[in-house]
Structures are given as C-alpha cells and as structure tokens.
Amino acid sequence: MSRESSVPKSSAILTCKHEAVEPLGLNAGVEFLRCPSCGAVIVTDGNVRLAIPPVRAAG
C-alpha cells in the first residue's frame, strides 16, 4: 500500500461506523480507541464520543 493510500480521505471518517476498534488506553475515565478501517482516534467520555481524523505528517 502506498503512503498516499494509507491515509483515507476525510470523507471516509464520516461514513465509517467504527465497528472494529483497537484500544489505545485510558486517562481519567476517558477511553481512547483507534479505528483500523479509517484511521480515526475515537475518544469516549461518558455519553460523548468524538472521532478525530488522521493527519499526515509534513515531509
């Protein structure tokens, strides 16, 4: 897979349901997960769930 195709388009995160996630860790009751399908980091705090899209490194 090329580097260009390894980072999905930002619209991918909007259509992804984040069904299969990998745990990244916990901090003060906040859970951090990663979606292998779209690359987003999912942050869960109680009933609030945020999806942070992946960012390409400069260079």
13: part of which helix (H) or strand (E)? helix 10-15
Q: What is the pLDDT of residue 12?
A: 62
Give pTM, 2 decimals. Answer: 0.69
C-alpha 42/C-alpha 59 separation (Å) is: 26
Beta bridge partners of 51: 42
C-alpha 9/C-alpha 17 separation (Å) is: 15
Which residue is it, tokens 């009933």? Answer: 47
Q: What is the pLDDT of residue 9?
A: 52
Both structure tokens of 32: 């951090």
Q: Greater confidence, 59 or 1?
A: 59
CB atoms within 10 A of CB 32: 16
Model confidence over 11-57: pLDDT tens digits?
A: 666 688 888 999 999 999 999 999 998 899 999 999 999 999 888 77
Q: Where are the domains of the chain?
A: 3-52
